[in-house]
Amino acid sequence: MAQNSDSYAALDLGSNSFHLLIASFSDNKIRVIDRHKDMVRLAAGLDDDGRLSDEAQDRALDSLAKMADRLRGVPRRQIRVVGTNTLRAASNAVEFMTKAEAVLGLPINIISGTEEARLVYLGVANDFAPEQKHRLVIDIGGGSTELVVGNNTPRQLESLPMGCVSFSMRYFKNGDINEKSFKKAVNAARQMIGPYVEPFRGHWQEAVGSSGTIRSIGKILAEQELSEAGYISADGLEKLKNQVLNAANSRDLNIKGLSEDRRDVFVGGFAVLYALFEELGMDGLHVSAYAIREGIVHDLAGRLHHRDKREDTIKQLISQYSIDEAQGNRIAELCARWLPAVADHITTPDTEAGPLLRWAAQLHELGLAIAHGSYHKHGAYILGNADMPGFSRQEQARLSFLVANHRRKPKPVGNPSYGVTADWPLVCVLRLACIFYRRRQAKQLPANITLSSKDANKLCVNIPEDWLLANPLIAADLEDEAELLNKSLDIKLSIQQNHSEQS
Asked if 329 contacts 358 with a C-beta cutoff of 8 angstroms, the reply is no
Beta-carbon contacts of 433 under 8 Å, excluding residues fewer than 6 positions away, are 331, 334, 335, 338, 361
3-state SS class at 423: coil
3-state SS class at 189: helix
CA distance linking residue 65 with residue 18, whole number of Å? 12
257-280 pLDDT, tens per residue? Answer: 999 999 999 999 999 999 999 999
pLDDT, position 203? 84
319-376 pLDDT, tens per residue? Answer: 999 999 999 999 999 999 999 999 999 999 888 999 999 999 999 999 999 999 999 9
CA distance linking residue 251 with residue 238, whole number of Å? 21
pLDDT, position 2? 53
> Which H or E run includes 160?
strand 154-160
Based on its alpha-carbon atoms, the radius of gyration of the chain, rounded to whole angstroms, reads 26
pLDDT, position 502? 44
Amino acid at 465: E
- Per DSSP, helices labelled H in 348-423 are 350-363, 375-385, 393-404
How does DSSP classify residue 421? -
Supply the pTM of this predicted model: 0.92
pLDDT, position 1? 45
DSSP string, 87-149: HHH-TTHHHHHHHHHHHHTS-EEE--HHHHHHHHHHHHHTTS---S--EEEEEE-SS-EEEEE
CA distance linking residue 428 with residue 257, whole number of Å? 60
pLDDT tens digits for the chain (503 residues)?
Answer: 456 678 999 999 999 999 999 999 988 889 999 999 999 999 999 999 999 999 999 999 999 999 999 999 999 999 999 999 999 999 999 999 999 999 999 999 999 999 999 999 999 988 876 566 889 999 999 999 999 999 878 999 999 999 999 999 999 999 999 999 999 999 999 999 999 998 888 789 999 999 999 999 999 999 999 999 999 999 999 999 999 999 999 999 999 999 999 999 999 999 999 999 999 999 999 999 999 999 999 999 999 888 899 999 999 999 999 999 999 999 999 999 999 999 999 999 888 999 999 999 999 999 999 999 999 999 999 999 999 999 999 999 999 999 999 999 999 887 655 568 899 999 999 999 999 999 999 999 999 999 999 999 999 999 999 999 999 999 999 999 999 999 999 999 999 998 755 44
CA distance linking residue 276 with residue 273, whole number of Å? 5
3-state SS class at 81: strand
Angle of helix 212-223 versus helix 234-245 axis, rounded to 10: 90
- Kindly report the CA angle at 425 between 422 and 426, in degrees rounded to 5? 75
- Burial label for 93, CB within 10 Å (0-12, 13-18, 19+), is buried
CA distance linking residue 288 with residue 286, whole number of Å? 7
> Which H or E run includes 210?
strand 206-210
pLDDT, position 55? 97
Asked if 141 contacts 85 with a C-beta cutoff of 8 angstroms, the reply is yes
pLDDT, position 421? 86
pLDDT, position 5? 73
3-state SS class at 161: coil
CA distance linking residue 453 with residue 50, whole number of Å? 45
CA distance linking residue 357 with residue 186, whole number of Å? 47
Any bridge partners for residue 450, and if so which?
Answer: 462
